[in-house]
Structure 1
Amino acid sequence: MDSETLRHSLEQLTGKRTGIKQLGRQHTSALFGLTTQQENEPVVHEGKMWVPIFENEGRATAIWMELEGLTPTEVRLAHYAAHNFAIALKATGLKEEGEAEARQLSAWLNAQLEQEKNDAEIPEEVTLKGRLFGEMVPFLLVSENVHQPQMTYRSLMKLLRNYFENDVLLIPLQDKEWLILARKELLTGGDDKDDEEENPDELLAQTCMGLHELIASEWVGVFHLSVAQAIIPVKGLTGSVALLKETIMLGRIFQVGDYIHLPWELHMERLVNSIPDHKRRLLLGQIGDYSVVLGDKEMLLTLETFFEMDCNVSETAKKLYIHRNTLLYRLDKIKQETGADVRSFGDAAIVKLAMLLYKVTKRK
């Protein structure tokens, strides 16, 4: 059980408003600076019962409940439930300030995604809501490590703070899945640029690449990373996370061997994946038999690189580290096998579509 589940359960059982609040050191000391003999007694302040559920370096995260109309027995039972939760939470070894709040947001976010509520607004009872009104850039990190040790909230947060230098939030989602929210200022580093401004997509891609390299240097294994445009999380978080999840899913299918997947580079892939499977197979059959070419790893890599380089022969040859004539030979061989000359736009579009259909149908 997480803190959000506890809050919801107490609210349902008592019928009283209940919330979770992160307190500063002074507020923590004022409320909970009690003697050992008093620590198992409810703390009452301004008509509310307060119970610390997580503490770190003098700061507490506390659950509170309105007391008006409750009997002393009900108050003690509610306090007992919250106090025992705090003991269990401490036993899990959470050592990073903000982890309890992050897991609260995670529980709400996962519930919205499961119900496909991609436009839901974060409710008031989510403790972190106050930090989610400014523009932030969302990243989704997914680990495929099975036998390697799991990365912890504390260790990953330490890396992120060193990398971004600005305020950053880390939200654990499903198993081996982490949502990272960084302030939009990371795009410019806070500098005003009078010269030509860089393309925002390129800046996001560069940031994504640097972050992936940093994480890969600390943990062995495969990690997928995606990033989306800046959002105001309080209203746009669920839709953005749904997009990032879909992007990594598409990247695993269509960008095998790549580990950074960008939503704006997967428009055609998203369209092809939305076509029902039986229609994809039918369409692939109507286009023609490209299996000889697409089933050849060398030819497939040649085509992928050729399209990546905007069908530029010289740049493709450089990227593949082959002679220009070798590339022309391969393109001529593709034409002989399929009848399609990928140096012409029409044929290139058909072959690109066939590639995508082949990848997704072969995977089934």
Structure 2
Amino acid sequence: MVTMDSEVLRQKLEQLTGKRTGIKQLGRQLSASLFRIGKQDEPVFYEDKLLVPLYESDGRVTVVWVEMEGLTPLEVQLTDYAARNFAIALQATGVKEEGEVEARQLGSWLNSQLEQEKDDIEIPDDIALKGRLFGDTIPFLLSSENVHSPQITYRSLMKLLRSYFEKEILLIPLLEKEWLILARKELLTGGDDKEDEEDNEDDLLAQTCMGLHELIASEWVGVFHLAVAPAIVPVKGLTGSVALLRETIVLGRIFQVGEYIHLPWELHLERLVNSIPVVRRRQLLGQIGDYTSLLADKEMLLTLETFFEMDCNVSETAKKLYIHRNTLLYRLDKIKQETGADVRSFSDAAIVKLTMLLYKVTKRK
């Protein structure tokens, strides 16, 4: 895999020279000034480092760098020669235009930090994409459940995303069949940061998620879950945001069965219930009372879920369920007769809602 080859190159250069090395993507202006036409075969030095170009993508040059201090002229020449030969082989792979090497480098680092439960770590300087992670960015997490279908390639998914997002995006492969999508915040605001836009940001994020999921579902067969979080500055907030998005999809699969778009701000109570130890959940269910028959009744369960979704508004719930208001009142009275809970009162509604969540998470354990 190209990612492993680039890492092997870095390690070998480090062993050869005894100096720190890394792979970095330069900005367009610096790329143009350092790697001018006609100068490609000459060693390039910048900030006491030897820079060797690997390839160019959208005006940005990705380089392997080696610290210069203490190197002899011959060592510099040998290092430059070895790295340039690798660049020729890398360019022959055909992935240079997509920036997949840099993306997989960042993805590997993110996975490593999250495995160690480090969700507040700043992205280090040796991550090639760091220079593109300082602006306000919206993170999306896409997760596939398609076990037997062919794996979606980085190139094909990037092509699809570019057809949807007008702004520049980054696609970061994480675990198998899991991708992080980073889009500039202007996606929502159009560059306008007026305060009244902030009130609608959640709605805009949800709409963007819906459109993106529809596009993916139209292109590929199977089940895909999609989550989005509020805008962050990735260089400092990316690990925490990915941890939140992963947890959101886990909660969505448990509590929102049949839904494939999951929003963290709609899962606060579910997050709390999921954090309760299993033994304690079972104790709570026993103390609250026996709601088994009620929760096993699909019609009653749908009625309750819709009632709570509509903020316990009888008229709106009846409209959403396409039933007469009196039919809904009959069902609510039946629930009261069977359980003693009147869900039209706040305290009883809260208990029933909690019971439903406990039942969903506990019966899957």
Please indicate the TM-score interval, normalised by the length of the shorter structure. 0.7 to 0.9
Q: How does 1:102-141 map to 2 (within 5 A)?
A: 102-141=103-142
Partner of 1:337: 338
Matching of residue 7 in structure 1 with residue 7 in structure 2: no
Q: Give me the whole-angstrom Cα distance separating, in 1, the residues matched to 2:34 and 2:98.
A: 16
Gap runs ≥5 in structure 1:
35-42
Greater Cα offset, 124-133 or 262-271: 124-133
Q: Which aligned pairs between 1:235-254 and structure 2 lie closer than 5 A?
A: 235-254=236-255
**Secondary structure of the corresponding residue to residue 230 of structure 2:** coil
Q: In structure 1, what is the Cα distance between the partners aligned to 2:103 and 2:204?
A: 27
Q: Secondary structure at the match of 1:175?
A: coil
Counterpart code for 2:44: H
Deviation string, structure 1 residues 239-265 (Cα, Å, up to 9, x no partner): 111111111110100111111111111
The equivalent of 2:43 in structure 1 is 44
User: In 2 relative to 1, CA 357–28 (structure 1 residues): closer, same or farther, beyond 3 Å?
Assistant: same
Cα pair 1:143 1:176 within 8 Å, conserved: yes
Question: What is aligned with 2:170?
Answer: 169
Task: State the Cα RMSD in Å.
Answer: 3.0
Unpaired runs of 5+ residues, structure 2, are none
Deviation by residue 1:3-29 (Cα, 9 ceiling, x = unmatched): 356535643664312122335477556
What is the CA–CA distance in structure 1 between the aligned matches of 2:84 and 2:331, rounded to whole Å? 68
| Structure 1 counterpart of 2:23 | 20
Q: State how many pairs are aligned.
A: 355
Partner of 2:278: 277
Identify if the C-alpha distance between structure 1 residues 327 and 90 changes in structure 2 by more than 3 Å, giving closer, same or farther: farther
Moved over 6 A (4+): 192-197
Mapping 1:308-327, distance limit 5 Å: 308-327=309-328
1:195, distance to aligned residue in structure 2 (A)? 7.9
State the AA in 2 paired with 1:266: L
- Equivalent-residue separation in structure 2 for 1:167 and 1:198 (angstroms): 24
Q: What do the CA deviations read for 1:339-361 (whole angstroms, capped 9, x no partner)?
A: 11111111110000000100111
Partner of 1:305 in structure 2? 306
Structure 2 residue aligned with 1:160: 161
Distance 1:135 1:59 in 2: 20
How far residue 329 of structure 1 moved from its aligned partner, in angstroms, is 2.4
Whole-Å separation in 2 of the counterparts to 1:339 and 1:293: 12
What is the deviation of 1:167? 1.8
- In the TM superposition, what is the alpha-carbon distance from 1:138 to its structure 2 partner? 0.9
Change (3 A) 1:190 1:66: closer
Aligned ranges for residues 181-200 of structure 1 at < 5 Å? 181-190=182-191, 198-200=199-201
What is the aligned partner in structure 1 of residue 360 from structure 2?
359
SS at match of 1:282: helix
Moved more, 74-83 or 160-169: 74-83
TM-score normalised by L of structure 2: 0.86
Q: CA deviation at 1:86?
A: 6.9
Q: CA 1:13–1:327 in structure 2 vs 1: closer, same or farther (change >3 Å)?
A: farther
**1:71-103, Cα deviation, whole Å (9 max, x unpaired):** 758975896588558747855x53543221111
Q: What is the identity percentage for the equivalent residue pairs of Structure 1 and Structure 2?
A: 74
Does structure 1 conserve the Cα–Cα contact (< 8 Å) formed by 2:10 and 2:23? yes
Contact 2:56-2:97 at 8 Å conserved across structures: no
In structure 1, distance between residues paired with 2:38 and 2:104: 24
In structure 2, relative to structure 1, the CA distance for the partners of 1:31 and 1:297 (3 Å cut) is farther
1:202 matches 2:200: no
Structure-2 change in CA distance of 1:281 and 1:50 (3 Å): same
What secondary structure, in the 3-state scheme, does the structure 1 residue paired with 2:270 have?
A: helix
For 2:187 and 2:78, locate their aligned partners in 1 and report how far apart those are by CA, in whole Å: 47
CA 220–192 in structure 1, closer or farther in 2 if over 3 Å, else same: same
* Residue pair 1:52, 1:86 contacting (<8 A) in 2 also: no
